Amino acid sequence: MTVYSKPGTPGSLVTFKPRYENWINGGWVKPVKGQYFEDISPVDGKPFAEVARGTAEDIELALDAAHRAAPAWGKTTATERAAVLNKIADVIDANLELLAVAETWDNGKPIREPLNADLPLASDHFRYFAAAIRSQDGDHAELDNDTVSYQFHEPLGVVGQIIPWNFPILMAVWKLAPALAGGNAIVMKPAEQTPVSIMVLIELIGDILPPGVLNIVNGFGLEAGKPLASSPRIRKIAFTGETTTGRLILQYASANIIPATVELGGKSANIFFSDVAQEQDSFYEKAQEGFVLFAFNQGEVCTAPSRALLQKPIYESFLSTAVERTRKAIQGNPLDTDTQVGAQASNDQLEKILSYIDIGKQEGARLALGGERVDLGGDLSGGFYVEPTIFEGNNKMRIFQEEIFGPVLAVTSFTDYDDAISIANDNLYGLGAGVWSRDGNVAYRAGRDIHAGRVWINNYHHYPAGAAFGGYKSSGIGRENNKLALGHYQQTKNLLVSY
């Protein structure tokens, strides 16, 4: 067990600056209107830094810088860009603990997550796209004896990127790595709930990129996000966030006829077939662990397995073991490496979760675990903590249909294969799903029949850089990770040459 020191206290790896300006043209730039907002740590509920409150004027400055930088950056070779991406990956790896403390303090997640998952994945993403851009080939075809068609990948130019608060650094990196590899200049707006950890990353990597290639403007959705997403000066907008905001982003993009990728909400079904409990062996243990994952990262994961579907013969026994296992999940100081459940990212999010717990009770769902706000006492007393909560009910209830984005699980039973697929697909969203079965045919068939962009079979919550990730239905348009993401940041040039 290691407990990292609170930022700014003796022995801590991190001392935040009292104030973070925007990062434009390779330097810190004060907001044009001179306004700032407070970043509040969910760990103790207290403000810890001020952040530039960007507006349309700051977005314009950032776009000016990006437009100046884009032509030269777009003409660099794949090898040159790959070297830059690899250097960024090295810096992340060398500063893993520092970045993990910053991310935990900003977002409230248990430090084991950024240390063991988010940040190693972030550096690996840069390495993956460094390799992907170097191995990308053009294409040519001899159309007849005199004519050859040549196809090239060209950068889009200047792109906008807007990210959410649940994985501040990793969500930024999922967008930055393919965009930079593809030769684009970027204006990014982080989430107003978690702006600082990205700025700590920029302090470390900002100088690796030529000035203006990456610009960050902080601020609120309507004040800074909308001017960016609706600007006629970007050639693409990439967004991750709520489905309702995603709809607006698509409208802005259509006005300028630019492509938009939108990675949106989810309500993932985690399906457990009866044969899982055939033996109480390591497979069974793994499935139990897969069930409890709904509570990790406080359920603030777009693919959180927030609906559990248990086949009738194992419903009671599997659930009672899983409830006990969830009860034992360690909730505590997010800076403690033993902690498994940390703080919700903001007070608003905590209130939203508590209101859904009320809705579940009013709908007649049975509360099997949790349901209350948690006061961890001492210095953490003001933090945003809630108990992992398990409801039993049916798929028509709002707690089964709507994204709560907290450690709240909705459990129901199913009779047979068709019933499981029908319940899983009876939802607006189609981002992720899980299938647990010892029968490879059943698991494979379910994986194909579920309407979701990612189905984990006999595992859950792995995000390797090479595996395409994105939503079906209202969960979004486009893919992140995998070489497919590069395609979202390039356009095809065809030269038709007569000889």
Find the shortest distance in angstroms from Cβ 297 to ligand NAD. 11
88 vs 301, beta carbon nearer ligand NAD = 301
- DSSP-derived secondary structure letter, 465: T
DSSP string, 244-275: HHHHHHHHHHHHHT--EEEE-----EEEE-GG
CB 270 within 8 A of CB 309: yes
Least Å distance between CB 264 and ligand NAD?
Answer: 5
Cβ proximity of 236 and 258 under 8 Å: yes
Catalytic residue status for 263: yes
Cα dist from 169 to 63, 251, 331, 401, whole Å? 22, 27, 23, 29
User: Given the complex with ligand NAD, which of 114 and 225 has the nearer CB atom?
Assistant: 225
C-beta closer to ligand NAD: residue 40 or 229: 229
Q: Shortest gap between Cβ of 119 and ligand NAD (angstroms)?
A: 16
- Measured from the CB atom, is 88 or 304 closer to ligand NAD? 304
Dihedral sign from CA coordinates of 444, 447, 453, 459:
negative
Given 263, 300, 387, 480, the catalytic residue: 263
Q: Which amino acid is at 208?
A: I
Closest distance of CB 125 from ligand NAD, Å: 13
Nearer to ligand NAD, 93 or 242 (CB): 242
Beta strands 408-414 and 389-392, pairing class? parallel
The smaller minimum CB distance to ligand NAD, of residues 322 and 408, is found at 408
- Dihedral sign from CA coordinates of 432, 346, 176, 155: positive
**Smallest distance from ligand NAD to CB 273, Å:** 26
> What does the alpha-carbon distance between residue 350 and residue 262 come to, in Å, rounded to a whole number?
25
Q: Which amino acid is at 293?
A: L
For the chain, the first-to-last Cα distance in angstroms comes to 70
Whose CA is closest to 187, among 20, 24, 35? Answer: 24
Q: Which distant-in-sequence residues (6+ apart) come within 8 Å of 310 by Cβ? A: 272, 318, 319, 411, 412, 413, 414
In the complex, the residues that contact ligand NAD under the rule CB under 6 A are 162-166, 171, 189, 191-192, 220-222, 225-226, 229, 240-242, 245, 248, 263-266, 302, 403, 405, 431, 471, 475-476
Pick the closest to residue 103 from 205, 112, 302, 363 (CA basis).
112
Burial environment of residue 71 by CB neighbours within 10 A (0 to 12, 13 to 18, 19 or more): exposed
**23 vs 318 by CB, closer to ligand NAD:** 23
Question: CB 293 → ligand NAD: shortest distance, Å?
Answer: 15
Distance between CA 197 and CA 191 in Å, rounded? Answer: 11
- What does the alpha-carbon distance between residue 151 and residue 487 come to, in Å, rounded to a whole number? 13
Nearer to ligand NAD, 240 or 412 (CB): 240
| AA letter at 342 | G
Q: Considering the complex, what minimum distance in angstroms separates the CB of residue 270 from ligand NAD?
A: 16
Helices 78-94 and 96-107: crossing angle, nearest 10°?
Answer: 80
Instruction: Give the Cα separation of 204 and 304 in Å (integer).
Output: 31
CB of 340 to ligand NAD, least distance (A): 20
What is the spatial distance between Cα 355 and Cα 458, in angstroms, rounded to a whole number? 33
Instruction: Tell me the closest approach of the beta carbon of residue 482 to ligand NAD, in angstroms.
Output: 13
- Calpha distance 133→343 (Å, rounded): 38
Backbone angles phi, psi at 402, to 5 degrees: -105, 150
Q: Which pair of structure tokens corresponds to residue 429?
A: 């969203």
Nearer to ligand NAD, 107 or 413 (CB): 107
Residues marked active site are found at 263
